[in-house]
Structure formats: C-alpha cells, structure tokens
Amino acid sequence: MAREVQLIGKRFTLREALVLGFCATFIVLTRAALRLHLSLPGHSMFFLMFFLIMARGCVPKIGATTLVGVIAGLVCLMLGMAKMGPLILANFVLPAIVVDVAGAIYPRLVASYVACLLVGMLAAASKNISEIGIDLLMGMEEEIILRHLAITTVSSAIFGALGSLLVPPVVRRLRANNLIPSSG
C-alpha cells in the first residue's frame, strides 16, 4: 500500500507529493536563473508553463497544479525574488488555476500539442491580471496601461506556448517507460 500525504484536503501519495515539490523547486530555480535582464517581457513563462503542465501530467489530480503554483509563489516571496511583493503569488497561482481547470475539462491535455499550446497561451496571459492592478494603483493613464498590457500579454503568451509545447513528448516518454500512469 502506498503511503499517502494529506495536503489541504487532498490525498497525494508520497511519490506524487515529491514530484509536485520538485516541479515547484524547478520553477523557483529557473526563475532565479532567469533574473538576468534579457529585455524580453514574459520570458519566465517558458519554464513556468513547462513545469506547471508537467506537474499536471505527472500528478493528474485536480488541485495538484495549483498546489505547485502556491508553493513556488511562497518560496519566491520568502526568498525576496519579487518586485511586486505579496502580489507575486498571483503570477504563479493564476496560471496554475488555468492549467488545473483545463486539465479537469480535458483530461488528455498533456498528450495533445494543440491543447498544451492553447492552455499555455491562456495561462501565461492570465498572469497579467495582477499587473493591471498594480498599474491602476500607481495611477497610470489607461492608454499606457493598455499598451503595456498588450505587449506583456502577447510576449508572455508566446513564451508560455513555446514552453508548453515541450510537455507532450516528455510525457509520452515518461509513460512509455512506465514512470507515470498512462491514464489521465
């Protein structure tokens, strides 16, 4: 019998909890590595979307991806990797919720290039909701907010789509070697 770990009302096996923890750790590590100023808005979405959708592929349970987003957001907040302060959580949790909802609606999400592409674009674009709030609180003009939103949303969606397209071949290889379950 597999050991189960109780996390926020959901039961995960010890293996699933470890996989989710590793996905969150890799999100934080890639974010730390990408703190270089590349002058490309949204470039961190590449690895964020890859590891969020991989978490869904490895642990096909509702709430697993959101848990990864919460853990990664809290760790980034504790390490001081945020210019936005506590709002950094929204940059991780909102895309994770989108991936969770998409996975609940379409369980074969991680095996489909088209589904991964669409979910990656939508989830990456959803992180800009928190940036709208910050821009409004700073008192920016609406025209500037719309231009900033358009540039960052398109760039984030492109990087998120590229990162999500890497998931199906990795999931197929993991399933072929019986490392993750074939269903879901």
Residue type, 11: R
pLDDT of residue 6: 57
Alpha-carbon span 74 to 110, nearest angstrom: 26
pLDDT at 163 over 80: yes
The pLDDT score that the predictor gives to residue 23 is 95
Q: What percent of the chain lies above the pLDDT cut of 90?
A: 51
Using CA atoms, how far residue 171 sits from 48, 55, 59, 93, 167, in Å, is: 16, 10, 11, 23, 6
Where do the structural domains in the chain lie, given as residue ranges? 4-176
Lowest mean pLDDT among 24-28, 135-139, 147-151: 135-139
Q: What pLDDT is attached to residue 37? A: 64
Rounded distance, CA 161 to CA 96, Å?
14
Q: Does domain 4-176 have CATH number 1.10.1760.20?
A: yes
pLDDT digits (tens, 9 = 90+) for 91-112: 899 999 999 999 999 999 999 9
CB atoms within 10 A of CB 30: 17
Kindly report whether the global pTM for this prediction surpasses the value 0.75.
yes
